[in-house]
Amino acid sequence: MQPRENTLNRRIRSAGGKFLRRFGLLPGGMPDGLGDDATLRDSTLDGDVIVYFADTADSLYQLRGWYGPLRELHRAQGVTVVCMDSRVAATIRQESGLPVVTIAQDATLDALIIRSGTKLILYVNYNPLNMAPLRARSALHVSLLHGDSDKGVSVSNQVKAYDYSFVAGQAAIDRFARYTSLFDAESRCIEVGRPSLDTDRVEPGTSHLRGDDPVVLYAPTWEGGQASVAYSSLQTHADPMLRSLLAQGYRIIYRPHPLTGVRVPEFGEADRAVRELLEGGWHTISGDRPLQRDFAEADLLICDVSAVANDWLATGKPAIVTRSAGADARDAGTRMLDVLPRLDAADAEHAAEIVTEQIEVDPDREERRRLTEYYLGDTRPGASLARFLGACRDLSAQRDRLWRQITENEHPSDPRTATS
C-alpha cells in the first residue's frame, strides 16, 4: 500500500471543512470539532470527574436534567464537561456554570485523562462517540442516562460497555435482569434515586390560573428512533383526548418532547396542531420551563411510556399512561404499567371521564405510594442527592485502588531488589 500523501485535493477538503466549522456553517446535528486541543496540550483538568457529552444541541435536554446534581458534585470533587461541539460547549458553560472544554482529537482526550488523574467519566446517553473516552483504563466509566423508564432503550445491550450504571431504584435493576442477557445487574447497577428531584425541587404553590379548574399535564414522548420504541401518542391520542378534556373545563399544560418531529415530520405537524388547539385559553405550552414547575402546577399527568411517568411518582398525584398504537412497539414493562391506568387510542375521546375519576377518587393512591419506593428509593428531600454524591465518592476510591494495582502490574519491582 502506498503511503498517504498530503495532496492538493486533501488540503482543499481540509481547508473547506475548517471554513465550514469556523463560521458555524455545519448542520446542527454534526459536531463542529472546533476543539481547545492546542491549549490543553500541556494542561490538566481540575477535579476528579469528567462528564462526556459528544452530542449536538438537539440532545442537550439529556444533560440539562443533570445540571443540578453535577453542580453539587463539582463542589465535592470537581467536574469538567467535555464536548465535541464548541457551540454546545458555550451553551453548557452559560447554562450550568460548570467548567467545559471542547476536544476534537482522541489523542488529546487520552493524554488529558491520564495527565489529570481523572477518576470517573460519566455519560448521559449511549452515543457511539462515547467509545473515545471508553478506551481509558485509568478511570471508571459510569452510565447515568437521562431518565429511568420502561422504554426498550432503557435495557439496551450498550449498558455492558460501562463499568457501572447509576439507576433510580430497584425497579431498574429488576428491569435489566428481566430484559437483558449476560448482564449482572445486581453487581453493576448502583441505586442513586433521582438526584435532580432534590436539586430542582419546586414547592407546590398556587397553580390554577383560573379559579379552581383542575390542571392536566400532557407530556408525550417523541416518535422514537425505530418502530420498536414508537411510544408517542401525539398522532393517535392527542386530538380527541385534549378535546374531551377541554370540553370538561380542564386546563392543560402541554410539554412536548424536544425531539418531536426530528425523524418523522408528521409528528411535528401533530405538535403544531396541539399548540393551535390550546391557543387563546388558560393553557400552558411548556418549552423552557423546568419539569418540576410543571409537576408542581398539575393535578394529574398523562404521558406515554417514558421517564416522565417514573419521576412523577414522587409527587404522589395520579397519572395515566397511554398505550402505543404501534403494532411493532415493545416496552420493557415493569409493575408501573400494570398499576397505572392505561389509555388506548380508541378511548381517547372519553379521556375526561377517566381523568375525573382519577382526580376525585384516586383509586390507585396506596399502590402508587408503594411503587414510589420501588422505582425511586428514598424520596425525602436530599436523600437521593446524598446517595449520588456518596456513590461517586466511593467509586473514586475504588478507582484509586484498582489503578494502583494495574500500575504495579505494569511496572513490577525488580525481583533482584524485592524483599521477601
7-10: Cβ within 8 A, 24+ apart? none
Task: Mean pLDDT check: name the lowest of 199-213, 259-273, 335-349, 368-382.
Answer: 199-213
Give the chain's end-to-end CA distance (angstroms, integer).
Answer: 53
Phi-psi region of 251 (alpha: psi -120 to 50; beta: other; left: phi over 0): beta
Cβ neighbours of 157 (radius 10 Å): 11
Could you tell me the three cell numbers for 210? 383560573
Q: Of the candidates 18, 225, 217, 31, which has an alpha carbon nearest to the alpha carbon of residue 132?
A: 31
Q: Cα(194)–Cα(132) distance, rounded to whole angstroms?
A: 27
Which residues fall within 8 angstroms of residue 3, CB to CB, at 6 or more apart? none
pLDDT of residue 3: 46
Q: Give the residue-averaged pLDDT of 316-340.
A: 94
Does residue 83 carry a pLDDT above 80? Answer: yes
In contact, 241 and 302? CB cutoff 8 Å: yes
pLDDT of residue 20: 44
Does residue 235 carry a pLDDT above 50? Answer: yes
Confidence of residue 288 (pLDDT cuts 50, 70, 90): confident
Q: What is the DSSP letter of 124?
A: S
Confidence of residue 9 (pLDDT cuts 50, 70, 90): very low
Q: Cα(87)–Cα(206) distance, rounded to whole angstroms?
A: 38
Confidence of residue 234 (pLDDT cuts 50, 70, 90): very high
Model pLDDT for residues 236-273, shown as the tens digit of each residue: 999 999 999 999 999 999 999 999 999 999 999 999 99
Does residue 67 carry a pLDDT above 50? Answer: yes
In contact, 304 and 231? CB cutoff 8 Å: yes
Q: Give the residue-averaged pLDDT of 324-347.
A: 94
In percent, the amount of the chain with pLDDT more than 90 equals 83
pLDDT of residue 14: 45
Task: Mean pLDDT check: name the lowest of 265-274, 283-292, 385-394.
Answer: 283-292
Could you tell me the three cell numbers for 47? 477535579
Does residue 212 carry a pLDDT above 90? Answer: no
Could you tell me the three cell numbers for 220? 408525550
Could you give the angle at the alpha carbon of 303 between the alpha carbons of 302 and 306, nearest 5°?
Answer: 155
pLDDT of residue 206: 46
pLDDT of residue 4: 44
pLDDT of residue 204: 66
Confidence of residue 17 (pLDDT cuts 50, 70, 90): very low
pLDDT of residue 211: 57
Q: Cα(43)–Cα(49) distance, rounded to whole angstroms?
A: 16
Q: Of the candidates 340, 309, 345, 307, which has an alpha carbon nearest to the alpha carbon of residue 327?
A: 345
Model pLDDT for residues 157-177, shown as the tens digit of each residue: 999 999 999 999 999 999 999
Task: Mean pLDDT check: name the lowest of 76-80, 141-145, 328-332.
Answer: 328-332
Mean of the per-residue pLDDT values for the chain?
Answer: 91
Confidence of residue 6 (pLDDT cuts 50, 70, 90): low
Confidence of residue 31 (pLDDT cuts 50, 70, 90): confident
Calculate Rg over the CA atoms of the chain: 24
pLDDT of residue 10: 39
pTM of the entire predicted model? 0.89
